[in-house]
Amino acid sequence: MLKAPTVSSLQKATQPKPANQNEVDRVYHQIREWLMDAVLPPGEFLSEPDLAQRCHTSRTPVREACMRLHQDRWLSRFPRKGFLVTPISVRDIVDLYQFRKLLECFTAETVAQSATTEQIAELRALLDVEDNPAADTAAMVQANEAFHLRLAAMAGNERVLDQLGLTLAFARRLDTLYMRVDRSWIAHHDLIKALEAHSGSLARQAMTAHLDHSQACLVKLFGSSIPRVK
């Protein structure tokens, strides 16, 4: 005699199968990359079917990846509607750069006091692209991120490096959007000079000035509206 299905068995049968974690991770990193490069611009409403097609997957990994990106503050969630790429506000920019100053004034000062000639040469080489007027936006932004991360790595504090990596992901999007409107670039010459002088105080001052200048340019440009991808 056949047994009637229990309530618990019916619930299990109707629950969606969890997505493969490797697939969720892949989709998460792909969408995050699009967010950092402003391929998915601030203020854009995301379509799960569209993202699933672009990521060559089903909707379940997309939904789970978007939930993680919501927790990371890249996306805003609207129940029964979906996800929106979180718009950028002036407050976001100010908060980001205040936090960067806490982290990066420390890294600049620390490295200035201990950097070898070879390490400074390595940092300078990362910035060669700044002297190339033909360099494209992606090359400039990637070199900038690599420089700040390498400087943090040389400082030798893993917690600072981890936090800066998360913070620079958001800064990368701001830089990308900024350079689509204004091709001027805030170089690092004063910071390199302070590192070469092995002056911790000058390096701290140079980093502060660099970040304050960057923040001011971003607030001025994005204060009224954030440029969207055309």
Q: Give the model confidence (pLDDT) of 75-122 as tens digits.
A: 999 988 889 999 999 999 999 999 999 999 999 999 999 999 999 999
Architecture of the structural domain at 90-222? Up-down Bundle (1.20)
Is residue 226 scored above 50 in pLDDT? Answer: no
Q: What percent of the chain has pLDDT over 70?
A: 89
Annotate 141-172 with b (16+ C-beta within 10 A) or e (fewer). bbbbbebbbbbbbbbeeeebbebbeebbbbbb
Question: Between these two residues, 222 and 166, which has the higher pLDDT value?
Answer: 166
What is residue 182's predicted lDDT score, i.e. its pLDDT?
83
Mean pLDDT value across the chain:
89
Q: What is the CATH number of domain 19-85?
A: 1.10.10.10
C-alpha distances in angstroms, 109 versus 80, 113, 189, 215? 49, 7, 16, 20
| Alpha-carbon span 201 to 113, nearest angstrom | 9
For the chain, the structural domain boundaries read 19-85, 90-222
Question: Between these two residues, 149 and 136, which has the higher pLDDT value?
Answer: 149
